[in-house]
Amino acid sequence: MIEVKNLVRTFNSGDRTIKPVNDVSFVLEQGTLASIVGKSGSGKSTLLSLLGALDKPTSGDVVVDGVSLASLPDSKLTEYRRRDIGFVFQQFNLIPNLSAVDNVMLPMEFAGVRKASRLERAKELLEQVQLDPSKHDRRINRLSGGEQQRVAIARALANEPKLILADEPTGNLDEQTGDHIIELLSSLSRDHNTTILVVTHDRVLANKTDRRFRLQQGKLTEEPARERAVAATA
């Protein structure tokens, strides 16, 4: 369970102060698939970075399974990112001179997983995101944007995190591959009780999630719940 309490993040840009996240509160039960929509620059990525402990809030707190992130020292936050969080970055942020498999293996290496099982699992994950096996050993900077996006998703899943934060995970994918990724994410939340928060501009994707939020001028509002089954057939 993740509880977000009065979260605020302000930036000073020149003489102006901007508040992309301004007093945001919500609670997500474990296993929920949720989405956030909002205009460009509305603060969606900023909010995700606070939930993923990449950044520290100006005020407020995020409590994960009863543990307040604000109270944790940096080393514990690193451990939290490694163990509990799977982050899919808007810009993918893969290591360009490593292969797809090596990129997926990285979080497992940091978590101390044995090399043989790292490799096995990395290949498995890349197959799950439908990356052609011939491209598993290819260096990242020789993959297309959509291919990189799928490697980024596979990497986020590597350590079986309990919270996946995905920033526009289908932005670079064709409809069919995008649908597959959505299916992959919802099966994770369904079958593995993984909490998933997806930032998206894609209404179809948003409509398939259990809960839908909208971020506007730093404020988060929830849109009326829909039946998942209905959304899936829409």
Partner 1 sequence: MSVLARSVGNAFRNKVRTAAVVAVLAVAIGLALAMLVANQAVGAKVQELNASVGTVLTVNPAGGQGFEGGGEPLTAAQAATAAAVPNVSAVVGTSSLRLRNAAAAAAQAAQTAQTGQGGPGNQTGQAGPGGQAAATLTTSLTAAVDAGTLGNRNQQANGTTGSTGTTRQPVRSLPITATGIGAEVDTTGKGLNITQGTGLGDYSAASTGALLGTTLAEKNNLSIGSTFTINDQTYTVTGLFDAGTAFGNNAVYITLPTAQTLAGTPGELSSMIVTVNSMDNVAAAKTALQAALGSDKADVTQGQNLQTAVSSLDSVKNISFIAFIAALGTAGLIILLIMVMLVRERRREIGVLKAIGAPNRTIGLQFVLEALVLAALGSAFGAAIASFASNGIASALISSNTSTGAATTGRGFPGGAGGAFQGGQRGPFGGASQLLNSVTASASPGVIAGGIAAVFGVAIIGALVPALLTARIRPIEVLRGE
Ligand X SMILES: Nc1ncnc2c1ncn2[C@@H]1O[C@H](COP(=O)(O)OP(=O)(O)OP(=O)(O)O)[C@@H](O)[C@H]1O
Decide: is 149 part of the binding site for ligand X (CB under 6 A): no
Of the two residues 40 and 75, which places its CB atom closer to partner 1 in the complex?
75
To partner 1, the closest distance from the beta carbon of 228 in angstroms equals 30
Residue with the shortest CB distance to Mg ion: 45
Query: Using CB under 8 A, which of 6, 17, 30, 93 touches partner 1?
Result: 93
Closest-CA residue to 168 (of 55, 8, 38): 38
Query: Using CB under 8 A, which of 81, 123, 150, 212 touches partner 1?
Result: 81
To ligand X, the closest distance from the beta carbon of 124 in angstroms equals 30
**For the residues of 100-115, what is the DSSP string, one character each?**
HHHHHHHHHHHTT--H
Mark 210-229 with x for binding to ligand X (rule: CB under 6 A) and - for no binding.
--------------------
Of the two residues 62 and 208, which places its CB atom closer to partner 1 in the complex?
62
Dist. CA 50–CA 44, nearest whole Å: 10
Chain residues 40-79 in contact with ligand X, contact rule CB under 6 A: 40-46
Decide: is 72 part of the binding site for partner 1 (CB under 8 A): no
- For 194, other C-beta atoms within 10 Å of its C-beta total 21
Question: Rounded to whole angstroms, what are the CA distances from 172 to 45, 72, 98, 177?
Answer: 17, 35, 21, 10
Q: What is the 3-state secondary structure (H, E, C) of 113-130?
A: CCHHHHHHHHHHHHHHCC
Decide: is 16 part of the binding site for ligand X (CB under 6 A): no
Of the two residues 117 and 221, which places its CB atom closer to partner 1 in the complex?
117
- To 10 degrees, what angle do helices 175-191 and 145-157 make? 0
Choosing among partner 1, Mg ion, ligand X, none, which partner's interface includes residue 78 (Cβ < 5 to 8 Å by kind)? partner 1
